[in-house]
Structure 1
Amino acid sequence: MSPSPTTSLLAQIRGLLTIDVDSMDPAFAARYSTPLKFCDMTSNQALVHAQADLVSKDSEESGDFEQDVVDLLTVLLAKEVYPHLTGNVHAQTSPSAAHDTQKTVDHARKLVSRFGEQGIPKNRVCIKIPATPESLLACRELQNEGIQTLATCLFSLPQAVAASQAGCVYVAPYFNELRVHFEPGLWKEYADPKTEHPMSAVILSIVHTFREIGSKTLVMPARFVSSLFVIALTSLTPNHITIGGPILDALAALPALSLDSFAPPAAATAVFPHAIASDREVTRKLVDALDIFGKKEMETRELVGAFVCRRLADDK
Structure 2
Amino acid sequence: MASLLEQLRGYTTVVSDSGDFNAIQQFRPQDATTNPSLIAAAAEMPGYQTVVDDVLKQVRKDAGSGASDKDIAALAFRPLEVAFGLKILNIIPGRVSTEVDARLSYDTEKSVEEAHAIIALYDKAGISRDRVLIKLASTWEGIRAAEILEKEGIHCNMTLLFGLHQAVAAAEAHATLISPFVGRILDWYKKDTGKDYAPADDPGVHSVTTIYNYYKKFGYKTVVMGASFRNIGEITELAGCDLLTIAPKLLTELESTQGDLPRKLDPANSQKLDIKKIPMDKATFEKMHAEDRMAHDKLKEGIDGFSKAIVDLEVLLTKRLSEITEPATAAH
TM-score (norm 1): 0.71
Cα shift readout 1:255-288 (whole Å, capped 9, x = no counterpart): 2x2244x44599995999xxx8842321111001
Deviates more, 1:130-139 or 1:263-272: 263-272
Name the CA distance, whole Å, in 1 between partners of 2:140 and 2:80.
Answer: 28
Q: Does the Cα contact within 8 Å between 1:179 and 1:289 map onto a contact in 2?
A: no
Distance 1:98 1:53, change over 3 A: closer
Matched, 1:103 2:110: yes
Amino acid at match of 2:183: N
Q: Does the Cα contact within 8 Å between 2:205 and 2:234 map onto a contact in 1?
A: no
- Other-structure match for 2:221: 216
- Other-structure match for 2:296: 283
- Other-structure match for 1:169: 176
- Other-structure match for 1:258: 260
How far residue 67 of structure 1 moved from its aligned partner, in angstroms, is 3.4
Distance 1:180 1:67, change over 3 A: farther
Q: Which one has the largest radius of gyration?
A: 1
**Secondary structure at 2:135's aligned position in 1?**
strand
How far residue 200 of structure 1 moved from its aligned partner, in angstroms, is 2.0
Cα shift readout 1:7-36 (whole Å, capped 9, x = no counterpart): xxxxxxxxxxxxxxxxxxxxxxxxxxxxxx
Name the CA distance, whole Å, in 2 between partners of 1:305 and 1:178.
Answer: 34
Cα shift readout 1:177-232 (whole Å, capped 9, x = no counterpart): 18959xx99997533x13x1112222111111111211000000100021122111
Name the CA distance, whole Å, in 2 between partners of 1:49 and 1:285.
Answer: 33
- Other-structure match for 2:87: 80
- Other-structure match for 1:21: none
Q: Does the Cα contact within 8 Å between 2:136 and 2:157 map onto a contact in 1?
A: yes
**Secondary structure at 2:183's aligned position in 1?**
coil
Structure 1 unpaired stretches of 5+: 1-47
Matched, 1:306 2:319: yes
- Other-structure match for 2:243: 240
- Other-structure match for 2:164: 157
Q: Does the Cα contact within 8 Å between 1:179 and 1:288 map onto a contact in 2?
A: no
Amino acid at match of 1:258: D
- Other-structure match for 1:225: 230
State the aligned residue count: 258
TM-score (norm 2): 0.68
Distance 1:180 1:205, change over 3 A: closer
Structure 2 unpaired stretches of 5+: 1-54, 277-287
Matched, 1:136 2:171: no
Amino acid at match of 2:248: G
